Amino acid sequence: MICPNCKNKEFYTLANNYIKCKKCSKKLSLKKIEKDILVIQKFCENKSAFEVSSELKLNYKTIKDRFDILREKIAIFSEVIYNSSIKDSTEYEEFYYLKEREKLKKRKSLSEAINIIGFYSNQKVYTLLMPKIGNRAFDVEDGFIQYLSWYKIHSQNAHQTKLNKFWKFLEKNLKKHKGVDEDRFFYYLKEYEFKFNYKKSEQLEILKSLSFS
């Protein structure tokens, strides 16, 4: 443990499952810390906030807020890792994510798609959100293939790449949320980038470090 108040690492053990920082005297509940770690573990198991709130018998909003904080920490972590890494993009391509309700429409508009560019570098996937297509949009049935032939960044043997596997992983996991607000989409994108890049055991250790340091 590291004290969230002063970053000290030394504590006194108190009664009733509490510890106290030797430097600033801040008291911390070991029971709450254990619960926070359990929530992180469930997050790494890819469970939804609703599933976790039911399993742990905790308020749904409490779990959702905690999950949102973890996503924000992941986004910062991913940016730091990418910016400090040696750039060697062996694969890169654009991906157009259509929300489920848009997919159900008879005529789908590419202007509604969320435009993402993905890189595969140093055995990790990294993603960036791009501006919406806007006025360049075509109806999918009329001009989607033509649009891709003009604008899409293609990688060789795209169907076999790590990025292609990631796009499928992303779409599969976003479905379970039954709709993600567009202003929060970036954080869900980074969550699944993180979960694709790291094993569950690695995810747990990273998130524990980010949450308790």
CA distances to 59, 92, 125, 194 from 187, rounded to whole Å, are 22, 21, 15, 10
pLDDT at 101: 67
Give which of 94, 196, 212, 86 is closest to 144, Cα–Cα.
Answer: 94
pTM value is 0.80
At 68-107, the pLDDT tens digits run: 999 999 999 999 988 887 666 567 888 888 876 666 666 6
Residues with Cβ < 8 Å from 53, sequence gap 6 or more? 59, 60, 62, 63, 64
Cα gap 41→30, rounded to integer Å: 16
Give which of 5, 9, 42, 54 is closest to 26, Cα–Cα.
Answer: 5
What does residue 161 show for φ and ψ, rounded to 5 degrees? -80, 165
Contact by Cβ (8 Å): 39, 211 = no
pLDDT at 8: 86
pLDDT at 31: 87
One-letter amino acid for residue 118 of the chain: G
Residues with Cβ < 8 Å from 142, sequence gap 6 or more? none
* Residues composing the chain: 213
Q: Mean pLDDT, 10 residues at a time, over the chain (213 residues)?
A: 83 90 89 91 95 93 95 95 75 80 65 85 89 59 49 51 91 86 92 97 94 79
